[in-house]
Amino acid sequence: MGSDRRAFRLAAQVAALTVTSLGLAALLAFTEARVAALLAAAAIVAQAWALHRSSLAGERATARFVATVGAGDYNQNVTAAFGDSKLGAAFAAALDRLRETVAARDGERLALRAIVEHAPTPLVAVNPDGTAELLNVAARRLFDRAQIGDLADVAVFDSDLAAAMEDIEPGERNLVRARRNDRELRLALSATSVTERGVRRRVIALQNIDSELGAAEFDAWRDLVRVLTHEIMNTLTPITSLTETSRDLTQELARRLATAERDAAVIDLANDARDAGEAAYRRAAGLKTFVETYRQIARVPKPILARVAAKDVLARARAVFAADRPGIDVTIASRPDRLAVDVDSDLLEQAFINLLANAADANTEAGSAIPIALEAALDGSGDVVFSVKDHGLGVAPEHRERIFTPFFTTKPNGTGVGLAVVRQIALAHGGRATYAPATPSGSVFGIRIPMS
């Protein structure tokens, strides 16, 4: 309706201008009425100006609409100048559609930003000019800072990592070892290209695969141990049974011969048989115990997690250890004091007992009477770190890479199982077993578990 009125008004203005122009022409051609001609000319000018203003009003309203859209300001009312016209309604509908589109786009952008911010994998953006930006919380935790200026800041953290990040191209993957404080990380680097506002940036993901590699390696060891111990036990069990029977029979034979009047040589032979049976039994039983010890690696159950106070777990582990090895001083501490974790407390207690036994042996070897420190702490990266500190001679540098490997030991009578079980318990909790030399001497063995 408004559009019809606007069109009628425009047609009326054009018709009036046409009629007035014809009237002026008639006055000038057929009469001498100069005053009337002047009045007609003035009317033509007024009507032309009114028509010009009508056309300018529409042009200005259209220009304002286009400028508003170009500026991205979709909340202004730029359609009022069009009145009730169809053009105004079309512009209003277009603005409404643009507002909805922008709101949806902004919502998606905020959602994506939140996903990136809280993604567990550290993400770093590298600009063409060499500047860099930490994109999420995980990256800020990895580098222990709010932001970095460029890859030279990464070089301060680890030069090999900085070089790998400099060289990696979109679509490539690379593995690199890096150090963070006193621990070594194995990082899988991957890069992609992202164009934002006309600027092409490389986004590099730095995934810590230490736990995954450790778990895969340990699964391989566990499967090997399971197969070997199964086959050995299948053969060893009847041997143990037969040697036990043989021992009992030869013992009975020797007893009866000793009470009868027999030739001394026969009695000596029976005694030798008895001793041989006894020795065979002891060796078979010892081998069976040895194999059972190694089977512990394949028997660590899946943890049943429950929220417990870290200090309570430490106290229970100390009490069990003290009952087995009295006289060894162990101090416990938790930072913060009320630190609580979701863990399987029974499995962790077993790991701490193994670590305490290892620490006690180290102290004894070094002749140290300084107490063993058993602690739990929340570190800057958000992980809970359980640690056992001894004051022994430490681990030789050439052995540090292998100390958690099953069956590897530096002790004369060691089995190489205790620390391997500690490592498996840590992996079962989604964490990792750690080692670091202590200051001024000794070792710090630990279990690092991510907070859920």
Q: Which tokens is 117 given?
A: 């911010």
Does residue 333 contact residue 443 with C-beta atoms inside 8 Å?
A: no
Which of 327 and 218 is assigned the larger pLDDT?
Answer: 327
CATH T-level assignment (fold) for domain 121-208: Beta-Lactamase (3.30.450)
DSSP secondary structure string, 379-426? -TTSEEEEEEE--S----GGGTTTTTSTT---STT--S-HHHHHHHHH
DSSP state of 121: S
Cα torsion angle, 307, 311, 314, 319, sign: negative
Averaged pLDDT for residues 61-82: 63
Contacts of residue 17, Cβ cutoff 8 Å, sequence gap at least 6? 44, 47, 48, 51
Angle 173-175-181 from CA coordinates, rounded to 5°: 135
- Crossing angle for the helix pair 2-30 and 86-118, nearest 10 degrees? 140
Residue-level pLDDT at 2: 45
pLDDT band of 430, cuts 50, 70, 90: confident
Asked whether residue 368 carries a pLDDT value surpassing 90, the answer given is no
Report domain extents, the chain: 2-109, 121-208, 213-298, 306-450
Nearest to 204 by CA among 214, 226, 187, 189: 189
Which of 408 and 397 is assigned the larger pLDDT?
Answer: 397
Contacts of residue 411, Cβ cutoff 8 Å, sequence gap at least 6? 361
Query: How far is residue 147's CA from residue 132's CA, in Å, rounded to a whole number?
Result: 8
Q: What is the tens place of the pLDDT at every residue in 87-116? A: 666 767 777 777 777 777 777 777 777 777
In CATH, what number does 306-450 get? 3.30.565.10
Q: What is the tens place of the pLDDT at every residue in 120-169? A: 788 888 888 888 888 888 888 877 777 888 877 787 777 788 888 888 88
Name the range with the highest mean pLDDT among 104-108, 318-322, 414-418.
318-322
